[in-house]
Amino acid sequence: MLEQLRQRLQALQKPPGIEDNPGVLPLGVEAIDAPLGGGLARGALHEIAAPSEAHLAAAAGFVLGLAALSLSPSPRSNTSVIPGRERSERTRNPETHSEIASGFRVRGLTAAPRNDGEGAGRGEFVWIAEDMALTESGAPYGPGLDAFGLKPEQLVTVTAACTRDLLWAMEEALRCRAIAAVIGEMRGSEIDSVAVRRLSLAAAESGALALLLRATPPTDASTAATRWIVGAAPSSPSSGWECERAPRFAATLVRNRRGPVGSWILQWSDIDERFLLATHAQPVAAPPLDRPHRKVA
């Protein structure tokens, strides 16, 4: 009865135009999808923070993996095979955006026109970053996008001068129904609860995925659907060359509006283009240092 009343209140509070069921984005790992209610909620805001600035690259890689999963699948072209894996020759579009009237500098590539029937669904995502974030951490890198199965022409990047401008640009991008995911990269400043609520409503209106990437764990309250702390995890020394170069993430779900939280070691597979549940890099119990090694009969 309480659940029915909660759903009734949410329906009364929901502004017109918001999608009733934008669906979920499965991560492909049952241990994570189950507590999330089937996957990451679309049409919602999710926060991903690094445990420290040294792990920001890992957190950004996790966000790229989510963006790759959110994009509509498209057939690969000009495929060549090298030992042990399949790669695709991705075409670049040299045409760049110019500065827009609002004062934001757009550095991304325009989406290439589609004439092969794959225009159905969303195929682009937006990365919005503060000037200081770009100075400290750099911009998205082409080969890095390729490792996550993303094409550079699917990415539009925007530079904002401050946090307020970044949140405004995220809200405007989320209202575009051609966008699958909007990523906002910011430093460690706190966010106004009203601005976070506006982002959540904008994401709910379009059904897009709103991802807020933060350099350090936030301390402010949030209405986001989930909040993650994601850092780098060591690779397994006995997994072989292909697994050693695959990125691993120590992902901790610290807030989940749909259920429990937890921690997992994830690995991105650039062959399947999805997350995999990885084992720990080291044994649970390390061998004692003060005793000689003995063979087990």
Q: Does 79 have pLDDT greater than 60? A: no
Q: 116 pLDDT exceeds 90?
A: no
Q: What is the mean pLDDT of residues 81-98?
A: 33
For the record, the structure tokens of 102 come out as: 């609002």
Residues 25-49 have pLDDT tens digits of: 999 999 999 999 999 999 999 999 9
| Residue 39, C-beta contacts closer than 8 angstroms, at least 6 positions apart | 24, 25, 26, 27, 33
User: Cβ distance 148 to 270 under 8 Å?
Assistant: yes
Backbone angles phi, psi at 175, to 5 degrees: -80, -5
pLDDT class of 245 with cuts at 50, 70, 90 = low
pTM: 0.72
**Dist. CA 38–CA 40, nearest whole Å:** 7
pLDDT in tens, 144-178: 888 898 988 899 999 999 889 999 999 999 998 88
